[in-house]
Amino acid sequence: MTQNNLTPEQNLAVSHFLGPALTLAIPGSGKTTVLIHRLKKLVETHGVSPGEILTVTFSKASATDMKTRCQAQIDSNLAEKFDFMTIHKFAYRLYTHYLKTKNISKRLLEDGSEKYRLLAGIFRHYEDDFLTDDFFESLSSEISLIYNLKLKRTDAHLPNFTWHSIFKMAEAYHLYKHRNHLFDFDDMLYYAIKLLKNNPTILASIHKKYPYIQVDEAQDTSKLQFELIELLAGPSENLFLVADDDQSIYGFRGAYPQYLLEFPQKYPKAKLYHLSTNFRSDGNIVTVASGIIDKNQNRYHKSMSAHNPSVNLPSVVWFDDLYTRNHYLANALKGDGQTAAVLYRNKISALSIMDELIRNGIDFSIKDPPISELNHWLIKDILAFITLAMIPQDLESFERIAFKTNGFISREMLQYVKDNHRGRNIFDCLIQAPFLEDYQTRTQEQLKSNFEALAKLRPFDAIHFIETELGYLDYLKKNSERLSTSMHYSRTRLDAYKALAKPLKTTVELIQRVQELDALIQEHMQTSSKITLSTIHGSKGLEFDTVYMIDVNPKLFPGLRQTENDALEEERRLFYVGITRARYNFELLHCEFVNGAFNQNSKFIEEFMGQPLSDHRFNNITGKPATS
């Protein structure tokens, strides 16, 4: 280290004064340290006033963290004078101030129940379907993507949108906002850009106030955000970006890492700096992560070195099933005093792990909690089957699953039950329907018999029985084909529900456990712990002594769009981000069977196994991994 405990690479970036610059910072290389020390350098060496520097961050948490670290690393009184904010906060301040001066009344439409009702109406109009929680997230993201990437339906290369009517739905959504004097988070950016372009006086005042612009996590910035940042930088071009194109993982929000690759062409005078030493991770982890990310082509190719020695080899550990894996995790996470994280691609993966840790009295905190998973239509279906088996008079449960069994129930039969059951056993009512042919009556008698058998089963066996004997898997396959979705998502959820059910003796306990977990999730959202459960997206910017990554399964990670190179490269960047969260130990845990079917290695497991690793197979008898 040199003066100020900075490396020569860091000092070069910190010393940048005027004009555009891009600093490429690999994980654990001290990017925040560089941004903070550059602030100090601008003030103490170049006489810049702290209030003349705007540091833009990707998230509110990042802005808060940077301010806290600034107070710790340099004079706290000086730190208070710097402006740290998200680009959305800047745009919101600018736009709402303008509205106030013009006496215009507009209201922010946040991502809540009001937005859900609005999009649900639009979705029903164009897709003739109900908007589920899953679809709401996807629809919101895709409308935002159109806005942030400035897409037109006539563009030659469009993302693989879920719905053909997405542009019509986006137009209807924006028209409603306009007519009802509403604006959302994306509108803030659009209107701020429009305001600055149409008002040179306001733009000049911004340039005077902030002649120096710093941007943290620039790889997460969208086209729309970059357009606003360029306006803020103005003709002086005092624009200092810190980024890692290899950590751009928010394409679904409109992140546009291609901008970084084009930065030298956009700003021919730009300086390029490199932070290429990882101070966080074991040398072996850096080597493996580098070998993975090198497979991406559309990137700045970097040399990566490790400050720390190579001690622990990353591992792949193999298990028969998810239940066995969770048992291993619970044992591994019992009170060793180190920080640890369990990382996964999709929120559903947390459900059975949470259950196992709670059963073992292991404290943890959770980011990106799977709250919506406990209200997912699939678990509601499973519980409706079980409830109907226990209470065959339950009309609500019957209505929910009537067309999802192999009982060949028609709409006419459902209506007959609704009109005539009067608190009776629903299956008796069905059997007595006067318009049924003999073969239909026999089918309903068999269905009644199957539900009677279901009522006697333990929860784990009950879910398997619902899938097979009651034909629910066949329904899911047909539903997946109708919606052009993958059965892998349904199988993953069913496997998670089975893991919840495995230790339980009665189906009543399963219903109660699902209800309990809803409250327990809320509780663990509020706690802090040395053990963290998180999606890989949610772990960005964090680090842990040990990282366990799970569910790197085919068609899930990398996802369904892995044949598209851009999508595959972003998924690989996400994999890389997960690996580089680890300081000392990294384990990839893989189940060889998911919901009873053989779980092949995904592309990323094959790439991971091509690196220097240790390989273990979990021993079900000893409860410990045994070297294979």
* CA-based nearest residue to 371, from 474, 244, 246, 523: 523
* CA-based nearest residue to 531, from 361, 372, 373: 361
Structure tokens at 443: 């089918």
Chain center to CA of 25: 23
Chain center to CA of 314: 24
**CA angle, 57 as apex, 82 and 229 as ends, to 5°?**
95
Q: Are 40 and 34 in contact (CB under 8 A)?
A: no
Structure tokens at 205: 């005042």
The answer to whether the annotation marks 30 as part of a ligand binding site is: yes
Distance between CA atoms of 301 and 299, rounded to whole angstroms?
6
All residues at 6 or more sequence positions from 547 whose CB lies less than 8 Å from its CB, including other chains: 340, 341, 343, 578, 579, 581, 582, 585, 586, 587
Residue with tokens 């640890």: 340
The answer to whether the annotation marks 27 as part of a ligand binding site is: yes
The answer to whether the annotation marks 423 as part of a ligand binding site is: no
Taking the CA atoms of residue 329, residue 334, residue 337 and residue 338 in that order, the dihedral angle to the nearest 10 degrees is 0
Q: Are 300 and 260 in contact (CB under 8 A)?
A: yes
The answer to whether the annotation marks 31 as part of a ligand binding site is: yes
The answer to whether the annotation marks 486 as part of a ligand binding site is: no
Q: Are 612 and 313 in contact (CB under 8 A)?
A: yes
Q: Is 474 exposed, middle or buried (0-12, 13-18, 19+ CB in 10 A)?
A: middle
Element (H, E) at 535: strand 531-535
Structure tokens at 88: 């959305």
Taking the CA atoms of residue 115, residue 121, residue 122 and residue 124 in that order, the dihedral angle to the nearest 10 degrees is 140
The answer to whether the annotation marks 471 as part of a ligand binding site is: no
Q: How many CA atoms lie within 13 A of 60 on its CB side?
A: 2
Distances (CA, A) of 393 to 211, 256, 378, 455, 585: 72, 55, 22, 13, 54
Binding positions are: 25-32
Binding positions for ATP are: 25-32
